[in-house]
Structure 1
């Protein structure tokens, strides 16, 4: 609170506006309620993550963590409702009255405006999470409760400082990641403090070690998303001397101090606590007090920054003197016409997928190095394929194709084909689940780590159904029609959240399909190779038919989007769509042919292995199986001969 009020005073975030003043209650009530929202979010998600990955579900520590999550989500819900009301007062500045007319205006704001809908959705989701945290005690079900809580951050990410016209999507991603991982970081530490009295002797150091790993990941994500947000709103170094820039520097200093404490905790304090046989109370409280103090500073400044004017004004398409059709539709001007060179030199970075690819490569390589340190081997080809797949995913989600895909259907289709077929063909042979199961230590204290969650997934009924080749093929091929010929296509093209969902969907359905055919990781079913080839050939035919339908179609998909961009390149939107159909038919079939070749090779090798196994068995037992089979045939022949020589024997 001290950091909040000091930052509001310094940055002018609560100063009375020159025209119409909503009142001091609204000017100070809104940032205070938003600070409480952030604390409630942190307590909810931090406690749930700690319960899922660090605590024993059969002990009081687990129940205490869920109580923390329930209480925090209740605070989140109440504070979100208060934020909605103070936002209403700030935007519309009505006179508060206890009558139906005032209630109608408030209801209209909550249901008819973007800001109101965002806060209403946040309040309802937080209230739902509160009830679920009280009612649910099953660890697996709690994973879905955590997902619901994370979804509750999406409406919050869509309001506030979300950047100008061109930076809107990047700003939304940065805010979402920043709030999520800052919440895990802060909420996890608060939960450890509150569950400490319930931990058995010696457990504190173990829980802190697990939290420290999560905190390190959170620090990296918070630092990256914070940098992106600051770069969008400050742009030039000189703007760091503005009130907004100085508050950003204060927040950065607090986060760096937290990173320093985290490093000291990992390298020094946890070891001292373990050496002290779990006592080490002085070390624990010293570190926790310092970390919570700096977290308080960072949280207070962050809440004030949301109300402080940025040095770079946020310009929307409506503010432009002569916006182009592309700017009105996408928020960005048309890029230059597509060339091969520009596909590899233009970039549109997406922080979410930068982090996914970076962490994916780092953890995979770290696991391989751990295997080698203990004397085990791991095929080099698997590592090469995994890294190549991650690099290709990085390019598709950040490179030139990502620049053009919201303007041209053909580039969108190229991204779809690579995400659904090209990248999974590289990632699946990398066998990431097998590598994780071989390198991650097994938990023996009743908690679930990454290894336990992976085993639960592999042996679950859902994976058993989704992992069947026929089901995976239906999902992969059927989603083509379900996606492009329903409103899903429009949502995924025009909405940033929809776009991220689209990337995840294509990637997962493609991964499931390839895993069912050539996967090395554990699978619920391994059908014979002829069946796999038949399913693959059927999918190829279905895929080709979809591409031909687009190539020969005369109706434009999403005409009010792709048909209204204002391109002047001599190629109409319909022609570009037909080019996209050709890409779906031709480029999409290349990985499929590669899959067919791989399945055939695996089939051949399987037959060769079976022959060698049979030969070794024959060498061991003198070909007893063949002798037994020949004896059976000889016996049948004698019986047949006896029947033929005996009159009326067969009657």
Structure 2
């Protein structure tokens, strides 16, 4: 078929679509989705009100709280999902206006009209979520205290709520995060900001995963981590579909591409939701309670709803993807119905937070199990820490996914006919295996119980795991595994290239900033502003610390020895100098902790009631020694790598210089010969010519 015929056919197709479709606003559908979720949640919760109040032993707070709390909680979840889905579209599903259609200039690209609409939707959704979160603070206080809602609006009652009620504290943090994301989303209009806004939108739901039934009782580490996975799956699944519907109703370009990309995310998200939901239920509800208690009935209803929705969604997209360009309204009709059912399932899910769960499996939990989620029965030693195993639902799962993703990337490289260094693969696998073993073995189990084990895990997560992951070069692998996109339509290859040129990364990767951020978290946590006792007293604190250790260490070693590109690749000698200059600060922190006479986290460690004798001060000194000694080994390895790299750079420079000399292309060599000739004649050793900019005065 000739080019004119192709263009004529495309024009006919566009005309056909324009005759059968027109741009339609999506805000009425947003209100429908929010309303369905809220009404389903409020109705079911009201029906279960009596049992909930009896279980909690509090008076009826009144109809405003009874209806308002579950209604706005469901609305908040849907708004968070819409924010995530919208930023996901503006970042990765809608191509921006790439200058001159040159994908290498993606970092400069502003958003298209469709991308701008999606980004603004994400920003306004985040701001609306922040307002709902603020409203939830007095509602939560009213609910837990039995006080009428109007009485909790006083400023002093807000202070009580934020200061004493954990759920209200979580909503306050959500309000702050969502407000920052919403304001930033309205300010930054270039593509390069959208992936960061997507991350920010995801972080707004994290505090909600740290409270509720999942964060209490035995095995709450499993409950909290699985609940977090569940929430993340929900916002990507539900939010992505709402954003896709909006894109289709405004007749946005690349609809088929967006639908295909969303379908992959949706499949993964539904699997995450189902598996995490079952794990969460298994640690808190006996199988016999699934069909004999109200909580079990809700759990079964939600699980069945997820399975049915996942299956119908897969069938729906399998049928409509091939027809999306010719029959877009067919997809939209099915998608709207699917989103309504999603909203209803979301409403069902939030009622679990107001439904008394069945009695715990073990009503006589030890203080250790209440604090940590499990019991330790023997003192950790060098050998038995590798015979204790408790799978870490968060970092163990991430280690598995990172391994699978990297090997998939290597497979794609070979499928394209390329090669990938086996040493980089070995480095990456060493990093993921180290992450898995550290968090899921006795090392991770004992980390919350003693300071010395905490410091061992800290050093591994901040200095060992990130170093090996960095040496694996994951960004270079993505660029090798995926081809550059068509002009003006960036692919995964182009996204990674743009991220490695991001202005923010240029700031963070500056040696001064990078070194400061790596030392900052260590000194703030243990020395200058000791947050240590606050962080170790909650599972959320342990989770946050582990994430900070990993991310901070990755950024630090990426700038020092990473093979992946950075906005500014500094000479090896400069990086080596920064490492040498920072090493005393690493060592000083360990020495300080070894000499400290006050026990950090004494109240928490004493409350655990460990079954073996432990001198807390001596254990802390051991931890300081571990921090001092173990930090030296990875830094020493980095020093060797940098020193060898410096020598390679010097040799390369020498070889290049020798080649120029042999070819007679070296100006310096000619000047040197002239100087020797003048010396032989007894003249001045100073040359008559210093370069174009600085000629010698006569």
Partner of 2:86: 47
Relative to the length of structure 1, the TM-score reads 0.84
Partner of 1:574: 617
Partner of 1:467: 509
- Residues 388 and 78 of structure 1, relative CA distance in 2, 3 Å threshold: same
Partner of 2:116: 63
Residues 135-176 of structure 1 show CA distances to partners (whole Å, capped at 9, x for unaligned) of 653444455554554343244334432343333343333333
Partner of 1:197: 249
Partner of 2:48: 13
* Residues 463, 634 of structure 2: 8 Å contact kept: yes
Structure 1 position 401 matched with structure 2 position 443:
yes
- Residue aligned with 2:356, SS: coil
- Residue aligned with 1:306, SS: helix
Partner of 1:251: 302
Deviation at residue 430 of structure 1 after TM alignment: 0.8
Deviation at residue 413 of structure 1 after TM alignment: 0.8
Deviation at residue 67 of structure 1 after TM alignment: 4.7
- Residues 174 and 438 of structure 1, relative CA distance in 2, 3 Å threshold: same
Partner of 1:506: 549
What pairs up with 1:420-499 in 2 under 5 angstroms? 420-443=462-485, 450-477=492-519, 479-485=521-527, 486-499=529-542
Deviation at residue 629 of structure 1 after TM alignment: 6.1
Residues 581-612 of structure 1 show CA distances to partners (whole Å, capped at 9, x for unaligned) of 22223322222232233333334444454555
Residues 537-588 of structure 1 show CA distances to partners (whole Å, capped at 9, x for unaligned) of 4444443343333334433233333455444644411111122122223322
* Residues 95, 112 of structure 2: 8 Å contact kept: yes
* Residues 42, 67 of structure 2: 8 Å contact kept: no
What pairs up with 1:310-321 in 2 under 5 angstroms? 310-313=357-360
- Residues 271 and 65 of structure 1, relative CA distance in 2, 3 Å threshold: same
Structure 1 position 228 matched with structure 2 position 270:
no
Structure 1 position 585 matched with structure 2 position 632:
no
Partner of 2:393: 351
* Residues 163, 314 of structure 1: 8 Å contact kept: no
Partner of 2:12: none
* Residues 8, 308 of structure 1: 8 Å contact kept: no
Structure 1 position 602 matched with structure 2 position 645:
yes
Aligned residues: 632
Q: Of 37, 59, 62, which aligns to 2:76?
A: 37
Partner of 1:300: 347
- Residues 87 and 111 of structure 1, relative CA distance in 2, 3 Å threshold: closer
- Residues 161 and 599 of structure 1, relative CA distance in 2, 3 Å threshold: same
Q: Of 205, 217, 238, which aligns to 1:153?
A: 205
Partner of 1:92: 145
Please provide the CA RMSD for this pair: 3.8
- Residue aligned with 2:449, SS: coil
In 2: Cα distance, 1:214 partner to 1:393 partner: 25
Q: Of 426, 434, 442, which aligns to 1:384?
A: 426
Partner of 1:646: none
Deviation at residue 428 of structure 1 after TM alignment: 1.6
| Unmatched segments (≥5 aa) in structure 1 | 644-650
Partner of 2:408: 366
In 2: Cα distance, 1:424 partner to 1:346 partner: 24
Partner of 2:214: 162
- Residues 314 and 83 of structure 1, relative CA distance in 2, 3 Å threshold: farther
In 1: Cα distance, 2:45 partner to 2:142 partner: 23
Of 461-470 and 590-599, deviating more is 461-470
* Residues 389, 427 of structure 1: 8 Å contact kept: yes
* Residues 4, 303 of structure 1: 8 Å contact kept: no
Partner of 1:648: none
Partner of 2:268: 217
- Residues 455 and 582 of structure 1, relative CA distance in 2, 3 Å threshold: same
* Residues 456, 627 of structure 2: 8 Å contact kept: yes
* Residues 62, 149 of structure 2: 8 Å contact kept: no
Deviation at residue 186 of structure 1 after TM alignment: 0.8
In 1: Cα distance, 2:203 partner to 2:259 partner: 27
- Residues 635 and 377 of structure 1, relative CA distance in 2, 3 Å threshold: same
In 1: Cα distance, 2:387 partner to 2:83 partner: 42
* Residues 77, 124 of structure 1: 8 Å contact kept: yes
Deviation at residue 408 of structure 1 after TM alignment: 0.7
- Residues 483 and 303 of structure 1, relative CA distance in 2, 3 Å threshold: closer
- Residues 623 and 335 of structure 1, relative CA distance in 2, 3 Å threshold: same
In 1: Cα distance, 2:149 partner to 2:632 partner: 64
Structure 1 position 280 matched with structure 2 position 327:
yes
* Residues 285, 360 of structure 2: 8 Å contact kept: no
Deviation at residue 38 of structure 1 after TM alignment: 1.9
Deviation at residue 635 of structure 1 after TM alignment: 3.2
Partner of 2:230: 178
- Residues 340 and 641 of structure 1, relative CA distance in 2, 3 Å threshold: closer
Residues 318-350 of structure 1 show CA distances to partners (whole Å, capped at 9, x for unaligned) of x869x54x4675565444211344312323443
| Unmatched segments (≥5 aa) in structure 2 | 1-35, 97-110, 686-697
In 2: Cα distance, 1:328 partner to 1:249 partner: 27
Deviation at residue 422 of structure 1 after TM alignment: 1.2
- Residues 471 and 48 of structure 1, relative CA distance in 2, 3 Å threshold: closer
- Residues 452 and 495 of structure 1, relative CA distance in 2, 3 Å threshold: farther
- Residues 636 and 464 of structure 1, relative CA distance in 2, 3 Å threshold: farther
- Residues 314 and 88 of structure 1, relative CA distance in 2, 3 Å threshold: farther
- Residue aligned with 1:640, SS: coil
